[in-house]
């Protein structure tokens, strides 16, 4: 009888243990102790040594990973590419310093902004290598979804009469600095009572490619406290400012199926108050709804389904006025946009915080920061949560497959 009772206890105990070794059919890169790593399933592989890695990005087909190798201050950021087929890193062109680079959506060509010059890599033996100049005077850029053109912003000029407009251009990949090939796309009238900005950054296309969102940013000090989220149609004919927010591109997320834009609105560079989850129907931007309860702030956002979002939420801290900025101990919540029902879905310990939710159907991952940083994962919203990656510097970057 004692043996049966003990056997039942052991089986029950094992049933509730975290299944940390379960195979996860996902592919991602991540940074651990400043080095680049890759994980596929549960197999981890270190890709770099003795570097200081930033901003890894997957190529179109997942063969290449572009990243920046700089220093602890984020300076001297040189562009490198890791080839997963040849298992080594290389520079597509020596001594490229940049902070803005983006893979083509339809091929393994890499574009980057170096000191206001937009360049695009050539291809040599199937690898991005060398480059062609595309355009001068570039502040920020993104590829058009066709992979053949760029949407480019040019910062406004300060005139005796004030700041001029922000110009957006449509630039073919083969422009080669030929200004006759570059066409005006849209002009943002600034220095008005409704919109003051000198630049446009962080372009993101909607799922159906009919709209592009971006931040209209004012002068440096002001931009730390407030920027204007805008949308522009793919034809360059319909422009709408939506609302104010901080300069955080991860706080802007298009819905997976509809032209809805979820973002975290609010002003003020400190995260202690006035950060609200807001969802706008596009193009009817006057139909916006705020989902953050009074007394709370939302500090990350991700779409779970066409009608649900996940946010990282903490209590407001209006008492803080000066001194070290308090840590906001966020937890994850699921919001049903139709019913407005909200439910907590992650449960960190007292001195831990959950951030950076990512949804790769059917998996949900997030970054939990405590004594160290770990990536947690669960299979669907009701699944069992467990640690997938231990002791990492930040949230991973997933490869989603060809999405062109």
pLDDT tens-digit series, residues 112-168: 999 999 999 999 999 999 999 999 999 999 999 999 999 999 999 998 988 999 999
pLDDT of residue 299: 98
Average per-residue pLDDT for the chain: 92
Mean pLDDT computed over 349-368: 97
DSSP string, 86-139: TTEEE-SSTT-B-SEEEE-SSSS-EEEEETTEEEEEEEETTEEEEEEEEESS-S
Q: Which two tokens stand for residue 351?
A: 């001195």
From CA 1, how far away is CA 11, in angstroms rounded? 16
Q: b/e map of 252-285 (b: 16 or more CB within 10 Å)?
A: bbbbeeebbbbbbbbeeeebbbebbbbbbebeeb
Superfamily holding 33-191: TolB, C-terminal domain (2.120.10.30)
Mean pLDDT computed over 68-78: 88
Which residues of the chain form CATH 2.120.10.30?
33-191
> Which has the closest alpha carbon to 326: 371, 271, 370, 277?
271
Find the helix or strand (DSSP H, E) in which 61 lies. Answer: none
pLDDT of residue 122: 95
pLDDT for 21 beyond 60: no
pLDDT of residue 286: 75
pLDDT for 5 beyond 70: no
Q: Can you give the pTM of this predicted structure?
A: 0.92
pLDDT for 10 beyond 80: no
Mean pLDDT computed over 268-280: 97
Find the helix or strand (DSSP H, E) in which 223 lies. Answer: helix 220-223
pLDDT for 271 beyond 70: yes
């Amino acid at each position: 009888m004692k043996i049966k009772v003990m056997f039942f206890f052991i089986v029950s105990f094992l049933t509730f243990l975290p299944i940390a070794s379960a195979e996860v059919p996902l592919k991602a890169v991540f940074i651990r102790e400043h080095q680049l790593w890759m994980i596929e399933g549960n197999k981890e592989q270190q890709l770099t040594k003795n570097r200081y890695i930033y901003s890894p990005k997957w190529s179109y087909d997942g063969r290449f990973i572009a990243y920046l190798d700089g220093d602890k201050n984020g300076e001297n950021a040189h562009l490198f590419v890791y080839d997963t087929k040849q298992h080594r890193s290389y520079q597509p062109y020596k001594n490229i310093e940049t902070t803005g680079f983006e893979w083509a959506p339809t091929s393994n060509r890499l574009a980057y902004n170096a000191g206001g010059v937009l360049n695009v890599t050539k291809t040599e033996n199937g690898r991005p290598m060398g480059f062609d100049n595309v355009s001068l005077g570039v502040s920020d850029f993104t590829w058009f979804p066709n992979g053949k053109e760029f949407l480019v912003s040019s910062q406004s000029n300060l005139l005796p009469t004030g700041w001029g407009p922000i110009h957006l251009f449509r630039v073919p990949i083969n422009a080669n600095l030929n200004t006759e090939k570059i066409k005006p796309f849209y002009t943002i009238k600034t220095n008005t009572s409704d919109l003051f900005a000198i630049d446009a950054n962080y372009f993101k296309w909607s799922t159906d490619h009919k709209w592009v969102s971006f931040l209209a940013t004012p002068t440096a000090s002001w931009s730390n406290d407030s920027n204007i989220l805008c949308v522009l149609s793919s034809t360059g004919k319909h422009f709408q400012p939506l609302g104010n927010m901080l300069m955080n591109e991860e706080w802007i997320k298009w819905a997976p199926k509809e032209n809805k834009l979820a973002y975290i609105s609010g002003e003020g560079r400190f995260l202690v108050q006035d950060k609200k989850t807001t969802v706008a129907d596009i193009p009817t931007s006057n139909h916006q709804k705020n989902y953050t309860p009074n007394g709370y702030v939302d500090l990350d956002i991700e779409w779970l389904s066409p009608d649900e979002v996940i946010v990282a939420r903490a209590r407001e801290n209006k008492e803080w006025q000066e001194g070290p900025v308090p840590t906001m101990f966020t937890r994850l919540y699921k919001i049903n946009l139709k019913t407005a029902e909200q439910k907590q879905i992650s449960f960190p310990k007292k001195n831990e915080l959950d951030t950076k939710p990512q949804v790769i159907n059917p998996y949900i991952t997030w970054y939990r920061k405590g004594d160290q940083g770990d990536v947690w994962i669960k299979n669907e919203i009701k699944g069992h949560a467990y640690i997938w990656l231990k002791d990492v510097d930040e949230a991973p970057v997933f490869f989603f497959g060809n999405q062109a």
